[in-house]
Amino acid sequence: MHTDVPIIRCMGLNYKDHAREANMDIPKDPVLFIKPRTAINGPWPAKINVPKFVQDGSSDYEAELTFIISKDGRDIKKEDALDYVLGYTCGNDVSARIQQFKNSQVSESKPQYMLRKADQDHSGAFQKVTSLNGLVQVCDTNRSI
């Protein structure tokens, strides 16, 4: 495993031909998602480890151009972007399409905060609140699960 790679950031549907082949619209905004570093395999002829629960014949294999980023950055100007690229390589992005479309959230909703286990009162009850533009939409506990 490549322990020096903290995270793999990906952009979906960025190849127009592949989007058309999959009968999908080309998105107006980038479709971003992440993969864990355990998704990295060695070079050919290394075996691709596909989890058993997705060995259903729906795996899709895509040759990808991979950028290796050399330094941290945020809100980088377009004209400065290549200053953050160390180099390039080829990648093989393997996706389990049935599972992907059944459960896809991509990067839309991720937590802002974490309650440490040590700070929890151990009653087992957690309250969750969802708001939209400051108005509470959902207020519930995990007791309804």
Q: Yes or no: say if 38 and 1 are a contact pair by the CB < 8 Å rule.
A: yes
Per the domain annotation, does 25 fall within a domain? yes
Confidence of residue 71 (pLDDT cuts 50, 70, 90): very high
Which residues form the domain of 51? Answer: 8-109
User: Can you give the CATH number for the domain in which 74 is found?
Assistant: 3.90.850.10
Predicted local confidence at residue 10, as pLDDT: 86
| Structural domains in the chain (count) | 1
Q: Per the domain annotation, does 125 fall within a domain?
A: no
Distance in angstroms (rounded) separating the CA atoms of residues 54 and 61 = 13
Kindly report, residue by residue over 88-130, the tens digit of the pLDDT.
888 878 877 777 677 655 544 555 556 666 666 666 667 777 7
Please indicate, yes or no, if residue 59 is contained in any of the structural domains.
Answer: yes
CA 135 – CA 142 distance, rounded (Å): 21
Position 120 in a domain: no
Reported as a pLDDT band with limits 50, 70 and 90, residue 13 is confident
- In the predicted structure, residue 133 carries a pLDDT above the cut 90: no
Question: Is residue 128 included in any domain, yes or no?
Answer: no
